[in-house]
Amino acid sequence: MSAIVEFRGVGYTVEQAAGSLAILQDLNFAVEAGETLVLLGRSGSGKTTALKLVNRLLAPKGGAVLVEGKATVEWDPIRLRRRTGYVIQETGLFPHFTVAENIGLVPRLEGWPAERVRRRVDELLEGMGLTPGEFRGRRPRELSGGQRQRVGVARALAADPPVLLFDEPFGALDPVTRFDLQQQFLGWRRTFGKTALFVTHDVREALMLGTRIGLMHEGKLEMLVAPEEFKRGTSAEARAFLASLDWRMESDAHRPKQ
Amino acid sequence: MLTGLSSEMVARTLEHLELVLVAMLVAAAIGIPVGVGLTRRAGLRGPVMGLANVLQTIPSLALFGFLIPVPLIGGIGKRTAIVALVLYALLPILRNTLVGILGVDAAVRESAVAMGMTDWQVLREVELPLATRTILAGVRVATVTTIGTATIAAAIGGGGLGVFIFRGISTVDTNQILAGAIPAAMIAVAADEGLGWLERKLLPV
pLDDT of residue B1: 47
User: Residue B107: its chain A contacts at CB < 8 A?
Assistant: 88-89, 91-92
Does residue A255 have a pLDDT over 60? Answer: no
B114–A81 C-beta distance less than 8 A? yes
Chain B from 19 to 78: CB within 8 A of any A CB: none
Q: How far apart are CA A164 and CA A166, in angstroms?
A: 7
State pLDDT tens for residues A18-43: 888 899 999 999 999 999 999 999 99
State pLDDT tens for residues B13-41: 999 999 999 999 999 999 999 999 999 99
pLDDT of residue B60: 85
Smallest CA–CA distance, residue A54 to chain B, in Å, is 10
A80–B110 C-beta distance less than 8 A? no
Question: What is the average pLDDT value for chain A, to the nearest integer?
Answer: 90
ipTM, interface predicted TM-score of the complex:
0.86
Q: Which of A44, A76, A13, A52 is nearest to A197 (CA)?
A: A52
pLDDT of residue A253: 52
Per-position b or e across A58-76, b if 16+ CB within 10 A of its CB: bebbebbbbbeeebbeebe
Q: Which of B104, B101, B96 is nearest to B145 (CA)?
A: B96
Q: What global pTM score does this model have?
A: 0.84
Smallest CA–CA distance, residue A247 to chain B, in Å, is 33
Residues B162, B153: contact at Cβ < 8 Å?
A: yes
pLDDT of residue A221: 93
Question: Considering CB atoms only, which of A55, A91, A95 is closest to B114?
Answer: A55
Chain A within 8 Å of B128 (Cβ-Cβ)?
no
The whole-number average pLDDT for the span A188-210 is: 91
Q: Which of B147, B165, B145 is nearest to B155 (CA)?
A: B165
State pLDDT tens for residues A140-173: 999 998 899 999 999 999 999 999 999 999 988 8
Specify the 3-state DSSP secondary structure of A162.
Answer: coil
Residue ranges of chain B whose pLDDT lies below 70: 1-4, 204-205
